Amino acid sequence: MNTTIGKSTGKVTLLSAGPGDLDLLTLKAAKALASADVVLLDDLANPEIVTLAPQARVIRVGKRGGCRSTPQAFIERLMQRYALKGLHVVRVKGGEALLFGRAGEELAALRGAGIPVEIVNGISSGFAAAAGLGISLTHRRHCHGVSFITAHTEDHGEPDWAALAATRTTLAIYMGMRRIESLATALLASLPPDTPAAVVQWAGGANERRLLTRLDRLAADAALEGFGSPAVILVGSAIGESVERGSEGSEEWRENPAAMQTEARVADDRVAQAA
């Protein structure tokens, strides 16, 4: 730990660690970690990220839905305590810190204590999931936008799924696996049963898993394939553009691997003829 810092107030960096692949970190993130005195590490961040902060004291402050978590108030006190000692505190958050990462609460607490705060953006798991599927969340043939949603409101209720379905945007649903059956049922009241849907678990990581299905089979297929948290649920016609569904987005591709082999042979024949 750097012991040359004076007694003046230090600072806190809210650092977005992205979906897990360290290659996706920004240069700004790497520089912040290299200068860190204290790293508060989130459970959803790749633990190997600490190798980029060789001089820092590492404190694990995990927060996972459905698991025992470090209280938010305690994390805020830790940031204040070390920053007020003149240290550079890097609060490492999985994904994008400003998207469902409680950054608003932490910013308010730090600013209230007169502590300078820097924000380093990163790649959210919703974008990593889309990249894995090979789709655009805002494909203009299908929608005019994307809605990022948490399935858990502050009062432990659920969002207005009917209103969200009416937006005709691609729905990127975070923290929804424990409610996947109820949210799918609610969306089916407003959307067609064959609306394309997907689940991407550990998006952007080495162990990423992807499920392509349709809204009326979403919950059943996810359960059958053993999908769980952390995962992003994507719903909307743009999901049907996934390269894993084939050029026509046919359900046949999901259920009949022979169709892919046939199409591959046709493509090879076309290449041979062109040559």
Angstrom distance (rounded) from CA 51 to CA 196: 40
Angstrom distance (rounded) from CA 187 to CA 171: 10
Instruction: Extract long-range pairs of 104-111: CB within 8 Å, 24+ residues apart.
Output: 105/72, 105/76, 106/12, 106/14, 106/75, 106/76, 106/79, 107/14, 109/76, 109/79, 109/80, 110/12, 110/76, 110/79, 110/80, 110/83
CB count, 10 Å around CB of 173? 27
Sorted by sequence, the CB contacts under 8 Å of residue 17 that are 6+ apart come out as: 25, 29, 42, 44, 45, 46, 49, 92, 93, 94, 95, 122
175 is catalytic: yes
**Which one of the listed residues 42, 79, 93, 177 is annotated catalytic?**
42
- 38-41: strand order across its sheet: 57-60, 38-41, 88-93, 11-16, 117-120
63 is catalytic: yes
**Which one of the listed residues 37, 175, 216, 221 is annotated catalytic?**
175
Largest Cα separation within the chain, whole Å, is: 74
Catalytic residues: 42, 63, 175
